[in-house]
Amino acid sequence: MSTFVRYQLISFIRSLKFIPPVIVYLTWVFILYAYKNVPILSSYGASSIALYMIMTWIAMAIFTMEEDSEKHILFTHVGGKQKYLIGKWFAVLAFMIPLAFFAIFYPILAGSFKGSMTVSLYAMTFYSHIIFGMFGILIGTLFSATTFAMKKYSWLSAVFFLVVSLASKSLIEAVSLLKWGLWVFPPVFEVIDYMSAGDQLIANQVFWFDTLHVLLYLIIGIMMAILLFLKKEQ
């Protein structure tokens, strides 16, 4: 598995496809902290949302590196289709971790915040970046490695999914009936709302309920992605 992940990383780096998303994200973080004395959690919320979109981009790029014939050879070498999928996810995570660390520690090292970091703020910051990064990887997987969308419209479908999930709260406020159909989109606002409520995190019962919902969504989403991938590669 480690050999396959290393092969994927080397192939992705050699393809140079990593340059646009990485440059866009680093530029976004630099612009975000161009001014000093910015609020902590809302700033981290903005970098988490950007990571959400960038990881969708990177996941789709990594999952579409091979042609079908090459992919079938890799199935044999790695020991199965499911191991191939998991290996791809590890490769995408290897790109997500340094980007998340940069977004978290750059403003601290640059002295951009008007307050001080606390243990609870660190915990919420890591939580938001990890969750949004994994949401992005999940969407990228669904629209590039499964039958969830037609290949011709995969990028358009992924962008639509991202936009609707980020606009879901406003859509539900405008038309309440939409809440029955928008549950299929990642519950991003069950994280964003806590990032935009000031720099005092209140971990009450509602927070833990929302966290449980987010984690359940990710677990079910990962299981769906595995099933849809295996169905496509039958």
* Predicted local confidence at residue 27, as pLDDT: 94
Could you read off the pLDDT of 141-170 as tens digits, one per residue? 998 888 766 667 788 888 988 999 888 888
* Predicted local confidence at residue 79, as pLDDT: 83
* Predicted local confidence at residue 169, as pLDDT: 81
For residue 32, the enclosing domain spans: 1-233
Q: Which residues partner with 113 through β-bridges?
A: 38
Decide: helix, strand or coil at residue 38.
strand
Under-50 pLDDT residues of the chain = none
Number of domains in the chain: 1
Burial profile 32-43: b = 16 or more Cβ within 10 angstroms, e = fewer: bbeeeebebbeb
